[in-house]
Amino acid sequence: MKKKILISTGGSGGHVIPATILYSHLLKKKDVFISTDNRGYRYLNKDIHKILIIDTPKLKLLSLPLNFFKILFLSIKTFFFLKKEKINQLISTGGYMSLPLILAGKFLNLKIYLFEPNLVLGRANKFFLSSCEKIFCYTDQIKNFPFKFKYKRVIIHPLVRDEFYKIKKSKINNGKFCLLIVGGSQGASIFDKNLKNSILNISKKFSIKIIQQTHPKNIFSLKEFYTSNNIENEIFNYEENFIKKIANADLCITRAGASTLAELSILNIPFIAVPLPNSKDNHQFENANFYLKNDCCWILEQNFFDERIEQLIIRIIQNKSDFDKKKENLLNLNYQNTWINVNQKILKNLDEN
């Protein structure tokens, strides 16, 4: 009989997508459930995932008394779910969304595992580190990680969906330099406003193609701008199968969420990272800095984005040796990153205890 496991997630795609990848890794060997809040529900597929809605409120100071009772109620709800379904193990992908689930899991004495994709230990994961069996990480260089719990770390390759390993690049860009722009699941307004003018200037010097992921409200205006200026383009909203659109890109401009960088890395696409300045504990900068130290990318601070992005892209297109070196370094970084290797390591560590 398969052991039962619950994966706790919620919020943005940066939390939910890794949870769905964990779900896929465990599905053949475990009976898997996934919990999410209302925000994260849109990233799940009810035909594939067994879903529990636990809509944990944000822990804001002004509404703390009310939220305390909400969390207590959700913890009780989770407790009865865990007991009814006879859940054996719980994996949390971090964030405040996990609070009632881990509290209920602790009360039932379940084996609790944490997952930290960022290069800075998240606050929820840090809070529950003493209660977990192990924590899955991408590197042993995570900032703010307590030394006394380092023995709990399990280093795995970054999680990417199975189809990213199987994609065949067709290179159908007709000799054009293909620039991918990715704002992430939340979109990035800085990429939608002034960047198009820089791209227009670049298009007068080089033959380029634009693939841009943006908020639905910007799709029409961006497409109209590029098309009217004879720039080949594909403009789309965030979607589950966007791999088909991005796989043939040469260079990407992106935020620095852990999932996005992992996907670009496995696809061997060098990138210009523009970390979100107000990301918690500056974790987006640290995510990007890991790849910078391995000479796989460029980092551009948001404050200097408008004035420097055009010249940086031109320099990258012109300096082919530097560009090719970064592609080679990405290959070296991922040469052992396979679905089977990641799968076996996760299952081995879950089955040890």
Instruction: For 144-157, write each residue's pLDDT tens digit.
Output: 999 999 999 999 99
pLDDT of the residue at 246: 82
The Cα angle at residue 297 between residues 291 and 303, in degrees rounded to 5: 105
Distance, CA of 199 to CA of 202 (rounded, Å): 5
Q: What is the mean pLDDT of the chain?
A: 91
pLDDT of the residue at 186: 55
Closest of 293, 288, 298, 349 to residue 322, by C-alpha: 298
Cβ atoms of 159 and 21 within 8 Å: the answer is yes
Judged against a pLDDT cut of 80, whether residue 353 lies above it is answered with no
Average pLDDT over residues 213-242: 87
Tokens coding 139: 């590197």
Mapped onto helix, strand or coil, the DSSP state of residue 205 is coil
Judged against a pLDDT cut of 60, whether residue 240 lies above it is answered with no
Fold adopted by 166-333:
Rossmann fold (3.40.50)
- b/e sequence 141-173, b meaning 16+ C-beta within 10 Å: ebeebeeeeeebbbebbbbbbeebeeeeeeeeb
Extents of the domains making up the chain: 3-157+338-351, 166-333
Tokens coding 329: 């370094």
Please report, to the nearest 10 degrees, the dihedral formed by the alpha carbons of residues 60, 90, 338, 249 taken in order. -30
Judged against a pLDDT cut of 70, whether residue 241 lies above it is answered with no
Distance, CA of 255 to CA of 258 (rounded, Å): 9
Cβ atoms of 13 and 43 within 8 Å: the answer is yes
If one looks up domain 3-157+338-351 in CATH, what number appears?
A: 3.40.50.2000
**E strand or H helix at 328:** helix 320-333
63 against 185, higher pLDDT: 63
Mapped onto helix, strand or coil, the DSSP state of residue 85 is helix
pLDDT tens across 185-219, in order? 555 678 888 799 999 999 999 999 999 988 888 88
Q: What is the percent of the chain where pLDDT is above 90? A: 77
What contacts 268, CB < 8 A, 6 or more positions away?
Answer: 327, 330, 331, 334
For the chain, how are helix, strand and coil distributed in percent, rounded to 5? 50, 20, 35
Distance, CA of 19 to CA of 7 (rounded, Å): 7
Distance, CA of 22 to CA of 161 (rounded, Å): 9
What's the predicted TM-score (pTM) here? 0.91
